[in-house]
């Protein structure tokens, strides 16, 4: 490292400087969002962290740093910026982590969240922690349940039998990306079975034309729109020439 050009800790004692200014911001509430501010509002939302591992890694900053830079840019342009942070902490990844470590998911999730929150604070992003969202908290998932019931009552949520990836050793369903090319479970190397199970589905195909039409009205890169069209997967038949 010594012959490479990089900023040394003598030139920029980051541990001292970061700690000093982060404390200064926290004490003054520099990044608290003010609903009553006369400034125009701007909402910047980034992907929430998954506490299915026990800590964040460098890859997380690849998506958080540009979003936070953008939020700061809007703030400098005179906007009252709302940039919340939260934890996407429910479901299969949390359960798998619990199986792996033998700790109850409620306990491990709470522990991982408090560690990650400290990590997130250290990057010095302008998150307003008063608005933190934790999707495994009953305060949050009561809304998921409310929304699910709306879908169900309108016939948009239904059950049917479908094939899933099943690991007989872990006794769980696996997502496609958890099954290796050799058809082995990524956790325990057991051959994965295709098993028919009763599953919940949403009738999103009822909306495919609206979703496709909507794509024409938004300013997204063409490549991203193409991925979305492919994912929507509307097909009007196939023409074959013999
Ligand atoms: Zn397994």
pLDDT at residue number 156? 95
Q: How far, in Å, is the centroid of ligand 1 from the Cα of 157?
A: 29
Q: How far, in Å, is the centroid of ligand 1 from the Cα of 104?
A: 18
Q: Which of 165, 147, 166 is nearest to 157 (CA)?
A: 147
pLDDT band at 113 (very low <50, low <70, confident <90, very high): very high
Task: Give per-residue pLDDT as tens, 149-192.
Answer: 999 999 999 999 999 999 998 888 888 888 988 999 988 899 99
Q: How far, in Å, is the centroid of ligand 1 from the Cα of 168?
A: 7
Q: How far, in Å, is the centroid of ligand 1 from the Cα of 23?
A: 45
pLDDT band at 57 (very low <50, low <70, confident <90, very high): confident
pLDDT band at 4 (very low <50, low <70, confident <90, very high): low
Supply 20's token pair: 């000093």
Q: How far, in Å, is the centroid of ligand 1 from the Cα of 136?
A: 24
Q: How far, in Å, is the centroid of ligand 1 from the Cα of 134?
A: 28
Asked whether the predicted pLDDT for residue 211 surpasses 80, the reply is yes
Angle at alpha carbon of residue 215, lines to 213 and 218, rounded to 5°: 125
Other CB atoms within a 10 A radius of the CB of residue 51 amount to 29
**Residue 219 resides in a domain:** no
pLDDT band at 17 (very low <50, low <70, confident <90, very high): very high
**Residue 222 resides in a domain:** no
Task: Give per-residue pLDDT as tens, 21-50.
Answer: 999 999 999 999 999 999 999 999 998 988
pTM as predicted? 0.74
Q: How far, in Å, is the centroid of ligand 1 from the Cα of 115?
A: 27
**101-105, 143-147, 218-222: least confident range:** 101-105
Q: How far, in Å, is the centroid of ligand 1 from the Cα of 188?
A: 4
**Residue 238 resides in a domain:** no
Supply 219's token pair: 């300013």
**Which sign does the torsion angle of CA 2, 58, 72, 70 carry?**
positive
**Residue 107 resides in a domain:** yes
Q: How far, in Å, is the centroid of ligand 1 from the Cα of 199?
A: 20
pLDDT at residue number 37? 96
Q: How far, in Å, is the centroid of ligand 1 from the Cα of 105?
A: 18
Average confidence score pLDDT of the chain? 90
Q: How many CA atoms lie within 13 A of 103 on its CB side?
A: 14
Asked whether the predicted pLDDT for residue 66 surpasses 80, the reply is yes
**Residue 25 resides in a domain:** yes
User: Could you give phi then psi for residue 139, rounded to 5 degrees?
Assistant: -60, -30
DSSP 8-state symbol, 49: B
Q: The domain containing residue 103 runs over which residues?
A: 11-137
Q: How many domains does the chain have?
A: 1
**Residue 4 resides in a domain:** no
CATH number of domain containing 72: 3.40.50.620
Q: How many CA atoms lie within 13 A of 92 on its CB side?
A: 10
Q: How far, in Å, is the centroid of ligand 1 from the Cα of 15?
A: 42
């Amino acid at each position: 490292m010594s012959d490479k050009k990089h900023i040394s800790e003598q030139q920029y004692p980051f541990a001292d400087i970061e700690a000093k200014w982060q404390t200064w911001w926290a004490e003054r509430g520099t990044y608290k969002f003010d609903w009553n501010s006369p400034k125009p509002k701007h909402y910047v939302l980034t992907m929430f962290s998954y506490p299915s591992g026990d800590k964040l890694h460098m890859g997380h900053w690849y998506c958080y740093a540009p979003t936070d830079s953008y939020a700061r840019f809007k703030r400098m342009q005179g906007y009252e910026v709302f940039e919340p942070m939260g934890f996407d902490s429910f479901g299969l990844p949390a359960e798998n982590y619990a199986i792996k470590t033998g700790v109850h998911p409620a306990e491990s999730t709470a522990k991982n969240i408090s560690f990650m929150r400290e990590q997130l604070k250290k990057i010095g992003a302008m998150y307003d922690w008063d608005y933190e969202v934790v999707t495994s908290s009953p305060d949050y998932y009561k809304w998921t349940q409310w929304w699910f019931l709306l879908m169900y009552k309108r016939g948009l949520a239904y059950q049917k039998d479908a094939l899933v990836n099943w690991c007989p050793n872990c006794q769980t369903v696996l997502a496609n990306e958890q099954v290796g090319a050799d058809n082995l479970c990524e956790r325990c190397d057991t051959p994965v079975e295709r098993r028919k199970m009763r599953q919940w589905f949403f009738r999103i195909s009822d909306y495919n034309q609206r979703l496709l039409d909507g794509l024409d009205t938004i300013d997204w890169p063409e490549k991203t729109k193409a991925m979305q069209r492919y994912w929507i997967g509307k097909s009007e038949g196939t023409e074959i020439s013999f």
